[in-house]
Amino acid sequence: MPRPRLPACRSRSPFWSTLFLLWGIVLWLLSDGPIPMRDGPDLPGFDKILHFGYFFGGAGLLSAALYLHGSNRSGLSWRRLVITVVIVLATVGALDEWHQSWIPERSGNDFGDWLADIAGALTGALVFKCFHRLLGQPAPDRPSPEDLS
């Protein structure tokens, strides 16, 4: 039975890099205002679950972008890919917490939120490792016009 394949545009790094950039913009916008009020019971630690989930998704997008990047064809090891994703997203999480500390009605600098960000990033990168085959192999670079002559 053939493996499912994604459309060609989704098998290239720029697609996933663009989605990761949008992920970062949405994170900034979510952090730039007051905490949205929600109806229902107050669940302790629910914000940590949200941080974990959001950074889990970001890790998947960044992992896909790095895995499909042209330089990865030389063999970026899984260990280096996971470490890179975790370091980048830990930095983004720390900057997000710092950013929130300047926003009225936000606390920011919450160590628990940052740990949830890191846990989500690590888990997301490791889960991506299990499912990367759905993306297929990194596509070869397109030849330049000079190469064709």
pLDDT tens across 64-103, in order?
999 888 655 556 788 999 999 999 999 999 999 999 998 8
pLDDT tens across 26-40, in order?
999 999 887 767 676
Q: Look at residue 9 and tell me if it is in a domain.
A: no
- Distance CA(104)–CA(123), nearest Å, equals 31
Q: Look at residue 64 and tell me if it is in a domain.
A: yes
Portion of the chain with pLDDT greater than 90, in percent: 50
Q: Look at residue 147 and tell me if it is in a domain.
A: no
Per-residue pLDDT at 21:
97
Predicted structure pTM score: 0.80
Residue-number span of the structural domain to which 80 is assigned: 47-137
Q: Look at residue 8 and tell me if it is in a domain.
A: no
Q: Look at residue 121 and tell me if it is in a domain.
A: yes
Q: Look at residue 51 and tell me if it is in a domain.
A: yes
How many domains does one find in the chain?
Answer: 1
Q: Look at residue 90 and tell me if it is in a domain.
A: yes
